[in-house]
Structure 1
Amino acid sequence: MRRQDRVQSPCVSICALDENNVCIGCHRTSNEIMNWPRFDDEERRKVLENVARREEQVSL
């Protein structure tokens, strides 16, 4: 699989962790950020589902 065909990182280059260890820019945990390069596409999609839930909580 070509690199550009992989699920892409949600990083928006606003890198700062909040008190819950979640990035305020991409809404990933530090563990999700650190392990992203090793995740396969299925694992990356699961992270993106978690990111979507976290984004909803922030916007409430």
Structure 2
Amino acid sequence: MDQIEFFAIQSPCSRVCETDKQGYCIKCFRSREERFNWLTFSDSQKQQILRLCKQRSLRRRYQLAQQHRQQQLQQLQQLQQQNSLSNTQSAQMDFIF
């Protein structure tokens, strides 16, 4: 039995209540329905919602990490292109002189 079962299940609300494109709160990852009806849900429903929130949070963190990695790769490619152009121009200058 999990320790959470011994205590009243607290709302994960962090008082931000700003939603993302999918309609989930950007802090607690609950849907509008889950936020508005929290007090009416049973403890087992609340536990299920908390599990879903954890999954949503992990999915969001993964997406952000992927986006960050993609941005880093693009920056690296741009630097490599700039370096390649710089080397080409330098070689052309050496040829002229």
Aligned counterpart, 1:52: 54
**Residue identity in the other structure for 2:40:** R
TM-score (norm: length of structure 2): 0.55
Aligned counterpart, 1:15: 17
Partner secondary structure for residue 12 of structure 1: coil
Q: Give, in angstroms, the shift of residue 13 of structure 1.
A: 1.2
- Separation of aligned partners in 2, 1:6 and 1:21: 26
TM-score (norm: length of structure 1): 0.87
- Separation of aligned partners in 2, 1:22 and 1:49: 14
Residues 7-54 of structure 1 show CA distances to partners (whole Å, capped at 9, x for unaligned) of 000111111011111000110000100110100110000000000000
Over 2 Å off, 4+ runs:
none
Q: Which of residues 23, 30, 33 in structure 2 aligns to 1:31? A: 33
> How many percent identity over aligned positions?
30
- Is there any run of 5+ residues in structure 1 with no aligned partner, and where? none
Larger helix proportion of the pair: 2
Number of residue pairs aligned between Structure 1 and Structure 2: 56
- Is there any run of 5+ residues in structure 2 with no aligned partner, and where? 1-6, 63-97
Aligned counterpart, 2:45: 43
Q: Which has the higher contact order (CA 8 A, sep 6+)?
A: 1
